[in-house]
Amino acid sequence: MLSVENVPIRARALLAARGQDVSNLRSPRLLALIPDALRELATQTMPTTLLRKTFTETATAGEAALTASLAAAEPLILEGLRYASIYVTGFRYAAQFKADRSSLSFLSSAEFAYWALEGQTLVICDEVGLDNYAGPVTIRNAPYIPILENVPVSLEHLFILILADLASVKTKAA
């Protein structure tokens, strides 16, 4: 399991194995790069199902603000929403993505709810139309940024590689 104690040691060891001088690379500098490395890890694994979880928001008047999901300890990656499955109560199938709010008025089937993203808000259109749906919205298999301790074992090495690369770039720039 990754921790703030072992991550700097592992990153320095990797950089040293690459032949880089790590004598001036201190733990606080590496620890400061952890949030960037976690975001990069989540971004690189977004098309896969390696870092996925479920979020729930509540829609009123056809809109669900993603504020809670984006502010969670392990936040939703807004850019990765297209990889998620969004379910609206009352529909058997996942809601179908539409490019924007205006395209929600062109419904294809009453079997599906439809959604578009407007800023940090999901706009939901049900069989009745826009501004109607009120209720839970479940965002399944959504990419997220894990906290350090929850990085899966299978991704630990990739995380250390990313952190070492970030440290290497920052060291060269300094």
Pair (86, 129) in one structural domain = yes
Cα–Cα separations (whole angstroms), residue 24 to 12, 16, 36: 10, 12, 20
pTM for the whole thing? 0.87
Type of residue numbered 141: N
Pair (114, 167) in one structural domain = no
Pair (31, 67) in one structural domain = no
Q: Alpha-carbon distance 61 to 74, whole Å?
A: 27
How do residues 87-112 score in pLDDT, each as one tens digit? 998 888 999 998 888 887 776 677 78
Question: Quick check: is 100 in a domain?
Answer: yes
Pair (135, 88) in one structural domain = yes
For 160, the 3-state DSSP assignment is helix
Strands 114-118, 96-97: pairing kind? parallel
Question: Quick check: is 1 in a domain?
Answer: no
How do residues 59-86 score in pLDDT, each as one tens digit? 999 999 999 999 999 999 999 998 999 9
Q: What is the extent of the structural domain holding 20?
A: 6-47+147-173
Pair (169, 120) in one structural domain = no
Q: Write the CB contacts of 154 (distance below 8 Å, at least 6 apart in sequence).
A: 50
* CB of 59 closer than 8 Å to CB of 135: yes
